[in-house]
Amino acid sequence: MKRSTRETLFFYVCISPWIIGFVVFTAVPMFSSLYLSFTDWDSFQKPNWVGLGNYAKALTADPLFWKVLRNTFYYAIVSVPVSLLIALYLSNLLSHDFRGKRIYRTIIYLPSLVPLVAAGLIFKWLLKPEDGPVNALLGLFGIKGPAWLLDANWVIPAIILLSIWQVGGGTILLISAINGVPKELYEAAEIDGAGHYRLFWSITFPMITPILFFNLVTGIIGAFQVFDQVYILTQGGPDNASQMMVPYIYTSAFKDFHMGYASALAWILFVIIMVISAAVLKSSDAWVFYESEVKK
């Protein structure tokens, strides 16, 4: 056997576990759900082909679908930019040299290590309307706290608070990006008389846009796929005011046993995420700066 043939065979042997895992746990379920999205199947009887019936039902005959989609967009449109802005502010603050910065970085990052189930239970206790610590604190200032998880107007903001609480992961990535900016750029700008504001917007921000772009894309995908926060805090209540797409898909599939309809909802969500991600990727040409492009 030739050396090149042996190396090729060894290469495929090495990657075969990943290929097998991808086929079994990703490709097959994806194409199976695509097929099921065109059927009426309750998990027990043989799937009945209905063509585009499930998609037509979602778009024209299921008023809850549009409410769930609106809730999901509301959550994503608010939580992603707010989380990014907070992470950007904290990373810029914690990238400077001052006493105790490592302690503050640890404190900021710690919530990201807490499992979402545990974090959800903690927030459920914090946001109790009668004896919760948050409303008790507001009461000290003469403010009557809302019934966070029981009020349709406040339930999604409460879920957003839980997401923002775990902003530490993105903050650490941005701190790393800021620390990677060449110091000579700051020194040259300071010689020209640039202040802190000018240094940030002319040097720091452009140089960390690749990480901002990464955080933005992953944040959008994660926001549209939010599940744990909703399931632990509210299970979609009150009156579906906090129901999101993924929990709705879960309910349709494993509680109502409408597997075909749930598969159609999953593919609708997939298309929405792909379209938004593609739009963000297209926009990156105008605002994401790569150092290698300048070196060319």
The CATH homologous superfamily of the domain defined by 49-295: MetI-like (1.10.3720.10)
Mapped onto helix, strand or coil, the DSSP state of residue 123 is helix
pLDDT for the residue numbered 12: 87
Q: Which of 202, 211, 224 is nearest to 272 (CA)?
A: 224
The residue ranges of every structural domain in the chain are 49-295
pLDDT for the residue numbered 290: 82
Q: Which of 27, 186, 174 is nearest to 91 (CA)?
A: 174
Average pLDDT of every residue of the chain = 92
- Cα separation, 156 vs 9, in Å, equals 53
32-80: per-residue pLDDT in tens?
999 999 999 988 889 999 999 999 999 999 999 999 999 999 999 999 9
pLDDT for the residue numbered 100: 87
233-268: per-residue pLDDT in tens?
999 999 999 999 999 999 999 999 999 999 999 999
128-187: per-residue pLDDT in tens?
988 899 999 999 999 989 999 999 999 999 999 999 998 999 999 999 999 999 888 888
What percent of the chain is predicted at pLDDT more than 90? 74
Handedness of CA 250, 222, 104, 88 (dihedral sign): negative
83 is written with which tokens?
Answer: 């989380």
Residues 6+ apart with CB under 8 A from 238: 150, 151, 152, 155
User: Is the Cβ–Cβ distance between 39 and 215 less than 8 Å?
Assistant: no
